[in-house]
Amino acid sequence: MTPDTRRQALRRMKIIAGQVQALQKQLEDDRYCMDILDLSLSIQKALRSLDGLVIEGHLRTHVIEMMTGGEQEKAIAELLRLYKVQGPAES
């Protein structure tokens, strides 16, 4: 991961951590279910955004290194594993 990508990812994680704390407080305070769901869905979207950032960083660094360094099968296996876990992008 590049230093810039790491910085962006850490910034996003701090935001997500704050959202998770707020979600816990909403649950403890027995807030309205729709408010809880709105925040939960927002956190999930933020995590997907973080995943995208990390994937991009991986592609721009590690995958390029593997592809040019003779480790093409390893790079392909990693990406296929990720695709199988995540599934295709929603359109």
Extents of the domains making up the chain:
3-86
Domain 3-86: which CATH class? mainly alpha
Task: Report the predicted TM-score, pTM, of the whole model to 2 decimal places.
Answer: 0.79
CB 50 within 8 A of CB 58: no
Instruction: Determine the pLDDT at residue 90.
Output: 60
For the stretch 9-41, pLDDT in tens is: 999 999 999 999 999 999 999 999 999 999 999
Reference 24, options 40, 11, 13; nearest CA is 40
DSSP symbol at 29: T
What is the DSSP track for 50-90?
HHHHHHHHHIIIIIHHHHHTT-HHHHHHHHHHHHHHH-SPP
| 2 three-class SS | coil
Amino acid at 9: A
